[in-house]
Amino acid sequence: MAITKSAKKALRQNIARKKRNLVYKNKTKSLLKKVRLLASQGKTEEAKKFLPTIYKALDKAAKVGVIKKREADRKKSRLTKLLKKA
């Protein structure tokens, strides 16, 4: 456990940041999962309606620093490729 005052504050900051980061991470994960499920079921039109929402969530996660910019770009690219193929 943290002993010094600064270590205790750092611990509080880490906990708060982790909560904030998990919000972005869980949102992107759930949206990606939903679109992949729709694509596998052949509902590409419904899946394409989610694209702007997913792009926004991925860009926001990259901006905040939860994921890296290139990771967001890669996920967007693979998702679009998947929907074009389906």
Q: What is the pLDDT of residues 12-60, one digit of tens each?
A: 999 999 999 999 999 999 999 999 999 999 999 999 999 999 999 999 9
| Closest alpha carbon to 49 in 34, 61, 69 | 34
> What is d(CA 53, CA 43) in angstroms, rounded to the nearest whole number?
17
**CATH code for the structural domain at 22-85:** 1.20.58.110
Question: What is the model's pTM?
Answer: 0.86
Q: Is 90 exceeded by the pLDDT of residue 85?
A: no
Q: Decide: 71 and 62 in contact? Cβ < 8 Å.
A: yes
What are the residue boundaries of the structural domains of the chain, listed by start? 22-85
